[in-house]
Structures are given as structure tokens and as C-alpha cells.
Structure 1
């Protein structure tokens, strides 16, 4: 029962039935997805019996309708979370994390769940001027919006995670209106003029974490209205630079998508828009679509030098005259290094191409205020709206990119199953002025990950890499090393590839993977060989430094890049997997026995849709 008649969500329950003729020991079994719970040791459901699982055993026993206390029921609490009125899926896994059964229910959300949104966060305000009398945190605020056509009662509603605040009895939010919940009334009034009629509540207890955290809004029955985790890595402009984190699409975002980066954007205006609409170009109207950062052309005036491609994702032409492009987001002049000349119009669904030698890297080019080049070691590129030589704040976007190999472009690969809706990755083919190609994959890829072996598994963690190509690949690369501040004081070295991220491992010199072959990098090679004697010992490497994170993490297969004087040597990703122990990634590999297995090695790897849980079988 996900919606108790009393309205007290702590009275909800899940019933487990044992239809067998023998008792079933469910010690260490796990409920996942809609809620989470691990059954403690000694939990046994009798033959033909039931177990009632609840978020609050005391509240369950206090129910006034059956099932309730006094009925000699087998009751266990307390699980984490509450069943969503939106509906959900309840999965039951055994101690080996093999799915035993699953139940999906439809749900029936309330009006508040349908129409009330957290629409804006000022979680890391810009530092105030000296002598203001307030610290930066005093300027925090949350904005809520009623996107429905009828007023919503706020009685009994509470912010229960991240910050704490209970709305007073009788409070209500009119249709199509905003309200604010603030940290400090006086600080807010000193910085903003709030539109007439916008209600301001507060102060709330606690503070919004600058690094990101989970926020939760509950109704009077403890049902979740909205819950999501924001991250300061989503849009660095919102992390102390004065911009707020603003909902990208209040009406169109699904209730369970608010913790995705694509559900949010930086505010149009510096300072945010507390209490009023955030107008301006729609989010992601213009994106940094593809770039070449490693042309290895020593002459910046060469037409074959680095380039940047912008894309208009809308069905209308967009005039970006007066906008700015830069590799720095500090204040002027750093963020205004290149200004787009008058007449710069990106056609609908079209592209705008800039060559370094003709625009942003040429001191004599119109609009080039401070020449810059793209770093082959990776950096962040910024696009800001502007007018009359100044930033307007009406639009901004940015794209962080990793180190790249010579002649390999980096671009947007868009796919719904990806964590953020798109990844910015090496492209199979450069396509300046046209739609992007497929990602560059392989030939050497990460093909299997055992990140959390079962407690009975003596083989330990391991990572399998595989050569999907038709020729052998030596895991070595030539690199250029600058030995002093003299730019021509260079030597070359032949260096091995590495695995980085959650763990660190450097491949032995001159190691080769034959066509169709594989290598195992094990946390404990001795234990692995004992567990899997069929795997040729010569193909087992390790140990690596560190431990794979059971809660999810990054694994990168990298080749060494050039080493500039006074800088860290950069590493070029050849394959990357950001695995997780929660859906949409398979959950059974999280201690249940199976490993993560790449379904089609030749397809893009950082995609949960291309991974499955399967019995550990290195060398398969």
C-alpha cells in the first residue's frame, strides 16, 4: 500500500508472501529501486507465511485498518525512503543479488506532486562587497513554482533534506506563481527587488551545500513532492560566480529526472531571477558541438589549425553578434577574448565554424581581443551572450573537454540512455559544418568490470580489456617531452598506457594485445589465477593501486600525452566507463556475484544500455 488512507506515509507497507511449503531464509536479501532495505541476519518467512515491510514499524502497528498491530503479523522496519505516489518498481534480490521477483505499480500523484516544483536554487551566491554586513551564504534562496491552473495548499509541507523549513498552516501558492524560501530576509532585500505579490518565507535552517547535495520537499503525509541531488560540477557559473541553478523545463521534466544535469541550467542573468520568469534564449539553443584541439600545427596562422564548431539546436535563426567565446570564465577581459562580429547569425539547425588562424587565435582578426588556442591537454570552453562589448548574462554555456590525440576531434554524442543526455567524446570522423559522426571506439576497450565481488568470491576485483580490432595493438605511445622552458628543447619517449580513475595501473613496457585478445588487470593477481585457472597466467596483470568503488566510479584506459615544461603530463582517454550500482546500470554486480559485461564491445562504452550483469567469465 503506497498511499495509506490516513495520509500518514509512515503507515505504508510492502507485503512479501512465501508460497512455498518450506520456510525461506531471506537474510541479506535486498529490496531496491522504489525503496531500499537489506534484510538482517535471521530473517525467515515461514512456509505459506507473510512478512510486512514498512518505513516505520511503530506507525504500522498504530494503523486503524488491517493490516495493523495486534493481528500477530510478522512486521519488519525500517526501510529507507517512501513508496512514490507516482508509481514505481520494487525489486527483490537474494543474497547473491540475483533478481527474485519484481513488482511495478502505477501510482496516483497528488496535485502538489503534479504541479509544485523547486524552480531555482541560489546555492553558492557571489561574495558580497566589503562592508555589506553579510556573508555570501546569507544570500541563498530557493524558488518554488506552481505550474498548475489552481492554487496549491502548502499546509504541512516541509523541506526535509539539505535545508529544513516547515510552511505555516494556511499558506498557499496561487496558480502560475512563484514563492521564495530564503536564508536571510535582510540580505535578500539588500540585493534584490522582489516582484510585488511574491511570497517570501524563511528563514530556513541549515544551508545549501556549495558542492551539491540532495534536496527534498515533502507534503503533510511525508509523501515526496520532489527530491533531487544537484552538483556544482554541472554548471561552474552557478558555483560562486553569481548565477543561480535554474530549472530548464518546469513542465516538461519528469518527476524522476530532476537529478539529471540536463534538467537544469545556469540562470540567464547574473544574480538569478528570484520570484520572476527567467527569460532569454532557451537552454541549449546554441551548443559547442565539435572542436579540434590537437592539430599539432606550430603555425597558428595555418588554415589547418584548431577549430571550434557551434550548433543552433532550434528551428529559428539565432543572432550571436556581440557574444563572446573564451577559454576562461574569469571577469573581463578573460571571458571576452573573442567577440563575434556583427552579422554572425547561425541558421536554424545549422552550424558556425571558427578556425583558430582566422578568428579566435589571430590578433588581427575582427573580434579577437585576446588571442587564445585550445589545449591539447583538455580544458573548458565558454560561450557568453553579449552586446555593445559587454556581457549581458542572457545566455551562457560551456563545454569541458579532455585531452585528445593528434587530428582527433571531440564532439557531442547524444543518446537518451547516457547519464547527462550526451557525452563530449572523441569522434570517429571530423565533420566541421555538419552533423557529428559516431564516437571513436577502440580498438582496445574496457570489456568487463568486477567491482564488488560477492563475499564468497575469492578472486577479487578485476578489469578486463579487449582488442576488438583485426591487428595486434601495443599498449605504448610516442610522446614529446619539453625538458626546459625553451620550447624547442624536446625529446621523445616511448611510454606505456595506463588505467586511471578509481584505480591506477601502468602496463608493462612493450605489452601487446593480439587481435581479438584480452588482458586482465586484477586487484590481486594471485587470488585471480587461483579462482580462474583457465585464464592464461601470462594474460593476468596487476596488482593495481586503490580499489574500485562499490557505489560507482570512473575507469579510464589512457595513453600518455605530451609533457609540457612546468605542467603535469596529460593522459588521453582511449576508453572510459562511469559505472554505477543503481539503475539504469545493472545492480546485480554490486556484491551479488555477477560482473558488469559490455554487450557489444565495438559500440560506445560509457552507456548503461551497452552493459549487462552476467556471471563472471573472464576470457569469454
Structure 2
């Protein structure tokens, strides 16, 4: 008699995949690498500009990951060294660079962190650095601002007057309208700050910022707006010149 042994079956035990909740899989948003852009420039302020005191440049991380800027710097066509820039920027983080020899963070915030009615003050960092200087009347070859990383590679390039579409400042900053979409090296990508648009607000007159200017330091079009927490030291009442002379941060 022919005996045929029954076939042997192989069973595989299945279990549900483990989910690491402490380190979730990256989403499309968080998987995007960090990307740093020059997003706003005050190159022709109405206030006194002795030594570039009232000029400033805004950087933003429009990517999905944090990045530590270490020994980064700004540079322009006359080879002035601006920096160093040492700061950690989270996704959506904003950093405003100011002239370390001419203005303090407190003096900058005394002028710019006041509340224009209906415009929240955003959450942003201010970093005083060695300054180079910006031309009030840039031409196509006399004000090419570049952001360099620690290896000297160009991260972002802005030719302030590379084409006729570049907006004039004259007491207001210029800002990148669509960060991440528009080419920051094209004048048509920029717009003059105007109250009622792009988070723009008026500055407050102080001993350093002695004229009212328009800008939106800390506010980036297209990025989540994080309003500063309520602070009883903020006031919509403009202090007198005598009060400002005694304490430039009065009324913040």
C-alpha cells in the first residue's frame, strides 16, 4: 500500500506594527529640511542712520526642521563682514539682525514691539551683530546682500535693485511676499511695508529711532503667526521724550 504523508503547513504569527510615539514618523511638513531666507530688509529708514543704527535685516526658517546657525554671516559687494550669526532657529522661527555697535535689543524692541491697533506683536528673536551698512539708494551693482553659512556657501542672495520692479523703502522696510515660492533675488518678489498689509506696524519714536517707520519685524507671510503673550508692560500710550531719555524701554 502506498502511504502519502500529509503536507506540512508553515504558520507565521502576525503582530501589529509598533508605533514609536516618542519619535513619530515625519509628515510631509516636518520632513522638509530647514531653509533660511532673508525675508525683510530695512535699508532706508526715516530715523537717523549714524553707523547704520536703525537698519535691520530679518531671517526666517521656512523649512520643517530646526537648524543651528553657527558662524554664519551676511556679506555684500564691498566685502564687509556682518556677523557672526550664532542662533538656533526652529521651524517658522524668525531672527532680526541689528547693528551691535549702535543699538541694543532693548532699544530695538522699545521702538518696534509696540502695538499698532489691530496688529499683534509676533514672537521673534533679535541678535546684535557686527554691521556692514546698507545703501539708501541701491543700484544693480552696489548692494548685493548674501547670507553665507559657516563654509562660506551662499544660502540666500538678494540684489536690492537688480531690476526696476524693486520697491523703494524711504522710511519703510521691504519684505518678501511669498517666502519659499518667490525668488528673493528678484525685485518683483518684494513689496514695501504698508500698514494694513503683511503684518506691518508703525515703530514708536525713541532716542534711537527718532522717526516713525513702517515694518513687520518678526511677521512672515505664510507662516503661523504667534502673538506675544499679554504683557502689562506693553502700552498703547506713547511716553514723553523726557521719559524716553530716562528709560528707552519705557512703555514696552
1:504 aligns with 2:103: no
Matched-pair contact (CA < 8 Å) for 1:451–1:462: yes
Of the candidates 118, 133, 143, which is equivalent to residue 547 of structure 1?
133
The residue aligned with 1:178 is none
Q: CA deviation at 1:550?
A: 1.3
Residues 10-45 of structure 1, C-alpha deviations (whole Å, 9 max, x = no match): xxxxxxxxxxxxxxxxxxxxxxxxxxxxxxxxxxxx
Q: Secondary structure at the match of 1:606?
A: coil
Structure 2 residue runs of 5 or longer lacking an equivalent are 1-32, 115-120, 195-214, 220-252
How many Å separate the matches in 2 of 1:465 and 1:525?
Answer: 18
1:618 aligns with 2:217: yes
1:573 aligns with 2:154: yes
The residue aligned with 1:246 is none
Matched-pair contact (CA < 8 Å) for 2:82–2:132: no
Matched-pair contact (CA < 8 Å) for 1:550–1:581: no
Cα 1:609–1:533, aligned 2, differ >3 Å: closer, same or farther? same
Matched-pair contact (CA < 8 Å) for 1:576–1:606: yes
Greater relative contact order structure (CA < 8 Å, 6+ sep):
2
Structure 1 residue runs of 5 or longer lacking an equivalent are 1-440, 477-495, 562-570
Q: CA deviation at 1:581?
A: 9.2
The residue aligned with 1:181 is none
Matched-pair contact (CA < 8 Å) for 2:36–2:59: yes
Cα 1:498–1:472, aligned 2, differ >3 Å: closer, same or farther? same
Cα 1:506–1:457, aligned 2, differ >3 Å: closer, same or farther? closer
Matched-pair contact (CA < 8 Å) for 2:73–2:83: yes
Cα 1:470–1:453, aligned 2, differ >3 Å: closer, same or farther? same
The residue aligned with 1:560 is 150
Q: CA deviation at 1:507?
A: 3.5
1:445 aligns with 2:26: no
Mapping of 1:284-303 within 5 angstroms?
none
Of the candidates 464, 469, 473, which is equivalent to residue 63 of structure 2?
469
The residue aligned with 1:518 is 94
Residues 584-603 of structure 1, C-alpha deviations (whole Å, 9 max, x = no match): 2112x0x2x22111011103
**Structure exhibiting the larger radius of gyration computed from Cα positions:** 1
Of the candidates 563, 575, 594, which is equivalent to residue 172 of structure 2?
594
Mapping of 1:319-334 within 5 angstroms?
none
Cα 1:447–1:575, aligned 2, differ >3 Å: closer, same or farther? same
**Residue correspondences, number:** 148
The residue aligned with 1:608 is 187
Q: CA deviation at 1:532?
A: 1.4
Q: CA deviation at 1:554?
A: 1.4
Cα 1:451–1:499, aligned 2, differ >3 Å: closer, same or farther? same
Matched-pair contact (CA < 8 Å) for 1:505–1:542: no
The residue aligned with 1:529 is 109
Relative to the length of structure 1, the TM-score reads 0.22
Residues 322-341 of structure 1, C-alpha deviations (whole Å, 9 max, x = no match): xxxxxxxxxxxxxxxxxxxx
Q: CA deviation at 1:456?
A: 7.1
Cα 1:585–1:538, aligned 2, differ >3 Å: closer, same or farther? closer
Residues 156-208 of structure 1, C-alpha deviations (whole Å, 9 max, x = no match): xxxxxxxxxxxxxxxxxxxxxxxxxxxxxxxxxxxxxxxxxxxxxxxxxxxxx
Cα 1:537–1:467, aligned 2, differ >3 Å: closer, same or farther? closer
Q: CA RMSD in A?
A: 2.9
The structure richer in strand per residue is 1
How many Å separate the matches in 2 of 1:586 and 1:498?
Answer: 25
How many Å separate the matches in 1 of 2:216 and 2:159?
Answer: 21
Mapping of 1:49-448 within 5 angstroms?
443-448=35-40
Matched-pair contact (CA < 8 Å) for 1:518–1:539: yes
Q: Secondary structure at the match of 2:135?
A: coil
Q: Which runs of 4+ in 1 moved over 3 A?
A: 455-459, 534-538
How many Å separate the matches in 1 of 2:136 and 2:156?
Answer: 20
Q: Secondary structure at the match of 1:594?
A: coil
Cα 1:442–1:548, aligned 2, differ >3 Å: closer, same or farther? farther
Cα 1:612–1:442, aligned 2, differ >3 Å: closer, same or farther? farther
Q: Secondary structure at the match of 1:531?
A: helix
Cα 1:457–1:560, aligned 2, differ >3 Å: closer, same or farther? closer
Q: Secondary structure at the match of 1:577?
A: strand
Cα 1:455–1:498, aligned 2, differ >3 Å: closer, same or farther? closer
Q: Secondary structure at the match of 1:528?
A: helix
Q: CA deviation at 1:530?
A: 2.2
